[in-house]
């Protein structure tokens, strides 16, 4: 069965499954990444998500490889560019990833421009020759367009806000931690210039809050020169905002980084090359959010796995089918490091959950709301 399609925008048709590439270049070699992309594309997936900081765990030696591997696949497999939807993200402020524009300290106009193609920097420092531009951009390895070997990015997303918000495992808002951020208008102006130049087609946000989504939308409404965000990639409660403001909801980590597959609940704790085992002690963001030593997370996982067993449904199918059944989810962004994992997710498109199963899932969620938020 082919993966169904959905409109992220009237002019942007995407598959209901989106393959995330955050394992490409770390867990997956170039040839393994190609095989995953081949299988996904042949299965009807046309939507692929990356980020300039990928793969994870993030480190200076590998950053940008996920975009690079996708770009090489496009060229070497001779995939028509208009047959795929390529999404990637610009990194926000970070005190850790100093190899990405020194942090960056902010997500201002300069950082956005440099992340996309760095052309303004190069134009101001070198005599402009197209080949020279490509050469220097490749040398400094700071250009998403060059790494992806594409003339344009279909969906360019702000990876996380340029202001303090609780995210990546945090839940409570602390007003003391707020600082003076780059304005929504400055970010939209930079993104709008890239749209006008044909470097990106549409813009979106990730790990954003309802407040942030509305501020972006209000700024675009006031100034017709600014592009309007068409999507938000988030695990937070944004359904109402997305529905009423006509913003596509991209649900990421539908398997809770593999917890809902049940592999980490096995007697041996899962295979040694499973992500949370392979990178134990090296991937703080993932380990803090998806930690089975947390009683709430463990009990929630056991409850969902119990539903799958009771109805004789593969736990991966249960999780993916549930996410895809939500009327506001445009696409589910998932990761796979092995072909059989990809096949399990794709096969979930054939699974339809009856009202009784949905009701049991909702009951577990009412007891354990967003345990991995």
Query: Are the beta carbons of 142 and 97 closer than 8 angstroms?
Result: no
Check residue 236 and give its pLDDT.
64
Instruction: Please state, rounded to an integer, the average pLDDT across all residues of the chain.
Output: 91
At 154-200, the pLDDT tens digits run 999 999 999 988 777 677 888 888 888 999 999 999 999 999 999 99
At 272-331, the pLDDT tens digits run 999 999 898 888 778 888 999 999 999 999 999 999 999 999 999 999 999 999 999 999
3-class secondary-structure state, position 96? coil
Confidence of residue 373 (pLDDT cuts 50, 70, 90): confident
Residues 6+ apart with CB under 8 A from 262: 301, 305, 308, 315
Q: Which residues pair with 7 in a beta bridge?
A: 13
Check residue 370 and give its pLDDT.
84
How far apart, in whole angstroms, are the C-alpha atoms of residue 294 and residue 312? Answer: 27
- Which alpha helices (H) appear in the chain, and where do they start and end? 30-42, 65-76, 109-116, 119-125, 130-140, 144-147, 184-196, 210-222, 239-245, 275-278, 284-289, 295-310, 315-325, 339-347, 355-367
How far apart, in whole angstroms, are the C-alpha atoms of residue 343 and residue 336? Answer: 9
First to last CA, the chain: 32
How far apart, in whole angstroms, are the C-alpha atoms of residue 71 and residue 138? Answer: 13
At 151-165, the pLDDT tens digits run 999 999 999 999 988
Check residue 102 and give its pLDDT.
86
pTM for the model stands at 0.92
Q: Is the pLDDT of residue 95 over 80?
A: no
How far apart, in whole angstroms, are the C-alpha atoms of residue 253 and residue 365? Answer: 16
How far apart, in whole angstroms, are the C-alpha atoms of residue 87 and residue 373? Answer: 23
Query: Which range has the worst mean pLDDT, 17-31, 225-239, 250-264, 341-355?
Result: 225-239
Check residue 138 and give its pLDDT.
45
Rg (CA), the chain: 20
Q: Of 114, 109, 112, which Cα lies nearest the Cα of 136?
A: 114
Check residue 132 and give its pLDDT.
54
Count of CB atoms situated within 10 Å of the CB of 15: 25
Q: In this predicted model, which residue has the larger pLDDT, 359 or 95?
A: 359
Check residue 127 and give its pLDDT.
45
| Helix 65-76 with 30-42: angle, nearest 10 deg | 60
Confidence of residue 125 (pLDDT cuts 50, 70, 90): very low
Q: Is the pLDDT of residue 128 over 50?
A: no
Residues 6+ apart with CB under 8 A from 105: 93
Confidence of residue 221 (pLDDT cuts 50, 70, 90): very high
Check residue 1 and give its pLDDT.
57
Give φ, ψ of 135 to 5 degrees.
-65, -50
Q: Of 148, 141, 153, which Cα lies nearest the Cα of 24?
A: 148
Query: Are the beta carbons of 175 and 212 closer than 8 angstroms?
Result: no
Q: Is the pLDDT of residue 204 over 60?
A: yes
Q: Is the pLDDT of residue 124 over 60?
A: no
Query: Which range has the worst mean pLDDT, 42-51, 97-106, 166-175?
Result: 166-175
Q: Is the pLDDT of residue 112 over 60?
A: yes
At 53-81, the pLDDT tens digits run 999 999 999 999 999 999 999 999 999 99
Check residue 142 and give its pLDDT.
64
Query: Which range has the worst mean pLDDT, 103-107, 122-126, 158-162, 201-205?
Result: 122-126
Confidence of residue 267 (pLDDT cuts 50, 70, 90): very high
CA angle 159/162/164 to nearest 5° reads: 110
Count of CB atoms situated within 10 Å of the CB of 7: 12
Cite the active site residues. 54
How far apart, in whole angstroms, are the C-alpha atoms of residue 132 and residue 269? Answer: 51
Q: Of 278, 314, 349, which Cα lies nearest the Cα of 18?
A: 349
How far apart, in whole angstroms, are the C-alpha atoms of residue 69 and residue 250? Answer: 23
How many residues are present in the chain?
Answer: 373
Are β-strands 12-15 and 5-9 bridged in parallel, bridged antiparallel, or unpaired?
A: antiparallel
Check residue 119 and give its pLDDT.
54
Q: 3-state secondary structure string, 20-63? A: ECCCECCCECHHHHHHHHHHHHHCCCCEEECCCCCCCCCCCCCC
């Amino acid at each position: 069965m082919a993966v169904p399609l959905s409109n992220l925008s009237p002019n942007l048709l995407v598959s209901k499954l989106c393959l995330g590439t955050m394992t490409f270049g770390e867990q997956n070699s170039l040839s393994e990444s190609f095989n995953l992309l081949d299988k996904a594309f042949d299965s009807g997936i046309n939507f692929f998500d990356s980020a300039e900081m990928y793969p994870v765990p993030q480190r200076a030696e590998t950053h940008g490889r996920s975009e690079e591997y996708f770009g090489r696949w496009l060229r070497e497999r001779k995939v028509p560019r208009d047959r795929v939807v390529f999404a990637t993200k610009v990194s926000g402020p970070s005190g850790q990833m100093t190899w990405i524009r020194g942090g960056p300290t902010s997500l201002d106009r300069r950082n956005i421009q440099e992340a996309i193609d760095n052309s303004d920097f190069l134009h101001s420092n070198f005599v402009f020759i197209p080949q020279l531009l490509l050469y220097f951009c490749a040398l400094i390895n700071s250009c998403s367009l060059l790494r992806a070997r594409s003339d344009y990015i279909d969906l360019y997303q702000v990876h996380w806000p340029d202001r303090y918000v609780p995210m990546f495992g945090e839940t409570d808002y602390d007003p003391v931690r707020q600082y003076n951020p780059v304005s929504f208008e400055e970010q939209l102006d930079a993104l709008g210039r890239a749209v006008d130049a044909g470097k990106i087609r549409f813009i979106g946000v990730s790990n954003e809050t309802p407040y942030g989504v509305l501020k972006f939308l209000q700024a675009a409404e006031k100034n017709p020169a600014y592009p309007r965000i068409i999507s938000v990639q988030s695990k937070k409660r944004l359904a109402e905002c997305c529905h009423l403001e006509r913003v596509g909801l991209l649900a990421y980590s539908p398997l809770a980084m593999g917890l809902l597959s049940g592999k980490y609940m096995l007697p041996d704790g899962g295979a040694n090359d499973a992500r949370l085992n392979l990178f134990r002690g090296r991937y703080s963001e993932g380990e803090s959010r998806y930690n089975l030593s947390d009683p709430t997370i463990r009990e929630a996982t056991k409850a969902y796995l119990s539903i799958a067993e009771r109805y004789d449904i593969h736990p991966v199918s249960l999780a993916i089918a549930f996410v895809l059944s939500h009327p506001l989810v445009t696409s589910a962004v998932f990761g796979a490091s092995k072909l059989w994992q990809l096949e399990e997710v794709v096969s979930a498109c054939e699974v339809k959950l009856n009202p009784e199963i949905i009701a049991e899932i909702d009951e577990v969620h009412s007891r354990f709301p967003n345990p991995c938020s």
